[in-house]
Amino acid sequence: MEKSYYIVTFKPEYLALLRSIRSEDSQPDAGPEDRNQRAVVCITQGGFGQDVVDDDLQLKERFLEYLFSAEDIDFPRTPALFDQYFTLERAGEFIDLDYET
């Protein structure tokens, strides 16, 4: 099975959404560590008997499922919503510095 690596960057719109949710719940505002947040995301594709799917589409839906569950946000997990709050770019290369040959 093959792994695909992506970099997800959180747009200011998502941070504004979090601030509005936190203010409704009386939670502290997002700190400086929440600004310009990026995440490296890995998704496994392929394998015997698995259909070929659109990596980007699957990653967007699964990333939203993970993130919204963690943040307790009840929004649809759609690619359009992902594009509203995040940017996605394929990592050119992934280097595992702990990998032993």
Cα separation of the two ends of the chain = 19
**In Å, how far are 2, 17, 82, 86, 87 from 90, measured between CA atoms?**
14, 25, 15, 13, 10
Output the six-digit token pair for 15. 């941070």
pLDDT by residue (tens digit) across 58-69?
Answer: 899 999 999 988
**In Å, how far are 29, 33, 58, 68, 87 from 55, measured between CA atoms?**
34, 29, 5, 20, 15
Spatial CB neighbours of 77, under 8 Å, sequence gap ≥ 6: 61, 64, 65, 68
pLDDT at 32: 44
pLDDT by residue (tens digit) across 2-55?
Answer: 788 999 999 999 988 888 887 876 655 545 455 568 999 998 876 555 555 677
Identify the residue whose tokens are 């009386």: 26
The ranges assigned to domains in the chain are 2-90
Q: What is the pTM of this model?
A: 0.77
pLDDT by residue (tens digit) across 79-93?
Answer: 999 999 999 999 988
pLDDT at 60: 93
